[in-house]
Amino acid sequence: MAEELGGECSFYKVNVADRQAVQDWVDDVVDKYGRIDVLINNAGVLRDAMLVKVKEGQLVGSMSEEDFDLVISVNLKGVFNCTQAVAPTMIRQKEGAILNATSIVGLDGNFGQTNYVATKAGVVGMTKVWARELGRHNIRVNAIAPGFILTEMVRQMPEKILDNMKQHTPLRRLGEPIDIANGYLFLASDEATYVSGTVLRIDGAIVIGT
């Protein structure tokens, strides 16, 4: 993508769970371009499992501590690390937009996703806190909560599961990545200069579990 965009475009591979790696990345961007206008916290991982799995009265499985910690470190701490590293630059500029990727499961919950849901609910909370703390510096902080989106990963799912997703979505289709991109574009633009502390659902009106 960087090659396709050309010109003044750079690609970085960064472990968002590593605070120093994030700081080094942000410092390099500021050195190279002089400012940071928009931060989109979009990195995320999944490690799904039930809290406890019982069969015939016996415990046969559970979510591991390692899987819980990994998802927290990337999906929640990663958002904290990147935002904390970028905020001082935006404060000096007296403007900026921070956009966080949450999920409808962070609002409605979802079976077998204790760790993931906890992070996405946490991101909603942090979004609202940062909107309050950073608003005085003309920095807007918002989040997007996608529903079922037809990404490459989702496309690999069995047709039966995809059909079930569609049936539970009132618009009777899955979202496209461009639907989410358009939401980010709006929230990052001057068309949304009075929008902050909000969570924009882009989900075709779905409510998980119904």
Q: Provide the annotated active-site residues.
A: 116
CB 104 within 8 A of CB 206: yes
Contact 17, 74 (CB under 8 A): yes
DSSP string, 20-31: HHHHHHHHHHHH
Length of the chain: 210
What string of DSSP letters covers 123-180? HHHHHHHHHHHHGGGTEEEEEEEE-SB--HHHHTS-HHHHHHHHHTSTTSS-B-HHHH
Question: For residue 33, how far is the Cα from the chain centroid?
Answer: 25
Quote the CA–CA distance of 84 and 199 in Å, as a whole number. 20
